[in-house]
A and B are shown apart, each in its own frame.
Chain A
Amino acid sequence: MTAMLEVSTASIGYGPIRAVAEASIRVEAGQVVAIVGANGAGKTTLLKSIAGLLPLSSGHIHFEGRDITAMPPHRRVGAGIALSPEGRQVFPDQTVRDNLELGAWSRNLSSSALEDAVEEQFNLFPRLRERQGQMAVTLSGGEQQMLAIARALMSAPRLLLLDEPSLGLAPLVIKEIFAIIRTLRGRGITVLLVEQMANLALGVADRAYVLETGRVTLSGTGAELLLHPQVRAAYLGAGH
């Protein structure tokens, strides 16, 4: 069976520096897959490449059986891949609603269908409904993260890439975000999650990969990796 996403021996470099070296990753449809690892391990680089923002220096990316290695980023959105980037990156001088509407750019919706799509996100993230007329810059960090995820969902992706959704957020908000990830899986959206909070990510993941200095060093189910001594020592801290 072919996986929904298949990254094969992908290397990615910034000039002479190789940030990711021959990494291979499979994501099956309907799963939540996590990539964990330390700061600077190449997690964000890998995710950006899958979204098309960084070219591979070697290797291939297949999505739903198609080779998308050379596809430009804006066309990957239309193909069914959406990235909620690290640091949220909401459009600060545009309203919450405008941010969401921009997320649906690739779908060319009629205004009533667009309204329905925005409404769907408001049901998933009720806080955004209250804030819809506000400029995104005025939102709290947690609200911005929700907006970034909702904006990515506006393109109706089959594969959602989430880059460090917990970054800089309060524990309660992080809990909310992870509850939403579970909800999304329930709705049949496949999620590839990059996260420094390894315990949270592995807790939700069906499958997970450990990335160390650009190489995949371990893989397994989320539960397996949670118990793996190497993971416990390196990312969960002794005694957890």
Chain B
Amino acid sequence: MLATYLQALVSGLAIGGIYALIALSFSITFTTTKTLNFAQGEFIGVGAFLGVTILYALSASGDAGSFAALSPAASGGFSYPVAAAVVGAVLGTLGILLFLAAIRPFAGKPGMSWVMSTIGFGIILQSLGLAVWGPAPVNMPSPFGDDVMRLGGAGVRPQEIVVLTVAVLLMVALDLVMRRTRMGKAMRAVAYSPQVAALMGINVTLVMAGAFALSSALAGIGGVLVAPVASASLFMGMGIALKAFSGAIMGGLDNPRGCIFGGFALGLLEAGVALWQAQWREIAIFALIILVLAIRPNGLFGARTLDKV
């Protein structure tokens, strides 16, 4: 019995880590530009496929298996971290493109055109992905193999530990960057007020583009992290992004640490409810989110804004 709980805890923390990472990526663009990338789900899916493609290219030596079913050797050595880094860089660049094409023309203007333009950007991206890679899900091997490890009686997949570790390391690093470095302080200045930040001599447009690059890179790396747990599909990102967004809203979109908390809470809750009744999972989660927001409209840790009338 204890083993079952432990197993749920580990998988809840692993998926929660992904939710937290993506929730944080939502928070990064929201605080700096007051906009969100609603193509984040597609960015996750494209990140995963790009990762598989890079692993395939790196291991073209023969024993790697086919594209759709890479052998575990393909993720060995430095291949997996290299793939994650390249995906981060490519998706980061894509994020800048998204900012220029779908956000900048509309940001700060009345109306919500950016909602439609980012959704549209995502659909275009997904369609291009389908044209290149096709609709079938593919397998991405974990760098530490897929053999289930025994941890206090519980069966844990190595990739779950990888996901949790990398997600936590990334989030700690980002927290330090935001609080300690010149660049992080400038980003927080822009988050407080783009106008006042500009008065410091900060190039606000550049900081906003950087926020989208960072946010999109996190989505891509998230895709590479989560793909070996499930399987890589161009549609897998939607569900993850929706849960991560819910976690961000629940924790408070304008509070990065709140978003991380919200993501982990959702992951753990999901794993916990699944222990009891898998089909109640989504019902329980979204009922809870609605309840939380009814009581605290800005999320658990969001700033309570008082609108002046």
Q: Which A residues lie at the B interface, using CB under 8 A?
A: 51-53, 72-75, 77-78, 82-83, 85, 89, 91-94, 98, 101-103, 105-107, 151-152, 155
Taking a contact as CB atoms under 8 Å apart, the answer to whether A52 and B192 are in contact is no
Knowing A94-B185, A98-B185, A101-B185 are in contact, say whether A106-B192 is a contact too (CB < 8 A): no
Taking a contact as CB atoms under 8 Å apart, the answer to whether A77 and B192 are in contact is no
Q: Which residues of B contact A74 (CB under 8 A)?
A: 198, 200-204
Taking a contact as CB atoms under 8 Å apart, the answer to whether B203 and A102 are in contact is no
Name the residue of chain A whose CB is nearest to the CB of B198.
Answer: A73
Name the residue of chain A whose CB is nearest to the CB of B185.
Answer: A98
Q: How close is A97's CB to chain B, nearest CB, in angstroms?
A: 10
Taking a contact as CB atoms under 8 Å apart, the answer to whether A53 and B189 are in contact is no
Q: Which residues of A contact B185 (CB under 8 A)?
A: 94, 98, 101-102
In the A-B complex, list the 4 residue pairs whose CB atoms are closest, starting with the nearest. A106-B201, A77-B201, A73-B198, A105-B201
Q: How close is A204's CB to chain B, nearest CB, in angstroms?
A: 23
Taking a contact as CB atoms under 8 Å apart, the answer to whether B199 and A77 are in contact is yes
A-B residue pairs in contact (CB < 8 Å), sample of 16: A51-B199, A72-B198, A74-B200, A77-B198, A77-B200, A89-B196, A91-B196, A98-B185, A102-B185, A102-B186, A102-B202, A105-B182, A105-B186, A105-B201, A106-B201, A155-B201
Cα(A51)–Cα(B217), bound, Å: 34
Cα(A39)–Cα(B29), bound, Å: 36
Q: Which residues of B contact A102 (CB under 8 A)?
A: 185-186, 189, 197, 200, 202
Knowing A91-B192, A92-B192, A98-B185 are in contact, say whether A52-B198 is a contact too (CB < 8 A): yes
Cα(A152)–Cα(B198), bound, Å: 12
Main secondary structure on B side of the interface with A: helix
B104 within 8 A of A: no
Cα(A98)–Cα(B186), bound, Å: 10
Q: Which residues of B contact A52 (CB under 8 A)?
A: 198
B188 within 8 A of A: yes
Q: How close is B200's CB to chain A, nearest CB, in angstroms?
A: 5
Q: Which residues of B contact A51 (CB under 8 A)?
A: 199
Taking a contact as CB atoms under 8 Å apart, the answer to whether A53 and B200 are in contact is no
Cα(A102)–Cα(B204), bound, Å: 13
Cα(A151)–Cα(B189), bound, Å: 13
Taking a contact as CB atoms under 8 Å apart, the answer to whether A106 and B199 are in contact is no
Q: Which residues of B contact A106 (CB under 8 A)?
A: 200-201
B113 within 8 A of A: no
Interface bracket on B: 10 to 19
Q: Which residues of B contact A151 (CB under 8 A)?
A: 200
Q: How close is A70's CB to chain B, nearest CB, in angstroms?
A: 15
Q: Which residues of A contact B195 (CB under 8 A)?
A: 53, 73, 85
Q: How close is B276's CB to chain A, nearest CB, in angstroms?
A: 41
Taking a contact as CB atoms under 8 Å apart, the answer to whether B199 and A83 are in contact is yes
Interface residues of B in 253-285 (CB under 8 A from A): none
Known contacts A77-B201, A85-B199; 11 additional CB pairs below 8 A are: A52-B198, A53-B199, A75-B201, A77-B198, A91-B188, A91-B192, A94-B185, A98-B185, A102-B200, A105-B201, A107-B201
Q: Which residues of A contact B201 (CB under 8 A)?
A: 74-75, 77-78, 105-107, 155
Cα(A152)–Cα(B200), bound, Å: 7
Knowing A98-B185, A101-B185, A102-B186 are in contact, say whether A82-B192 is a contact too (CB < 8 A): no
Cα(A93)–Cα(B190), bound, Å: 12
Q: How close is A148's CB to chain B, nearest CB, in angstroms?
A: 10
Q: Which residues of A contact B202 (CB under 8 A)?
A: 74, 102, 105
Knowing A74-B203, A105-B202 are in contact, say whether A94-B189 is a contact too (CB < 8 A): yes
Cα(A102)–Cα(B200), bound, Å: 6
Q: How close is B302's CB to chain A, nearest CB, in angstroms?
A: 14
Taking a contact as CB atoms under 8 Å apart, the answer to whether A89 and B186 are in contact is no
Q: How close is A12's CB to chain B, nearest CB, in angstroms?
A: 15
B193 within 8 A of A: yes
Taking a contact as CB atoms under 8 Å apart, the answer to whether A94 and B188 are in contact is yes
Q: How close is B303's CB to chain A, nearest CB, in angstroms?
A: 10
Interface residues of B in 164-221 (CB under 8 A from A): 182, 185-186, 188-189, 192-193, 195-204
Interface centre among A92, A98, A102 (most CB of B within 10 A): A102
Taking a contact as CB atoms under 8 Å apart, the answer to whether A85 and B188 are in contact is no
Cα(A91)–Cα(B197), bound, Å: 9
Q: Which residues of B contact A155 (CB under 8 A)?
A: 200-201
Q: Which residues of A contact B196 (CB under 8 A)?
A: 85, 89, 91
Knowing A102-B185, A102-B186, A105-B186 are in contact, say whether A73-B199 is a contact too (CB < 8 A): yes
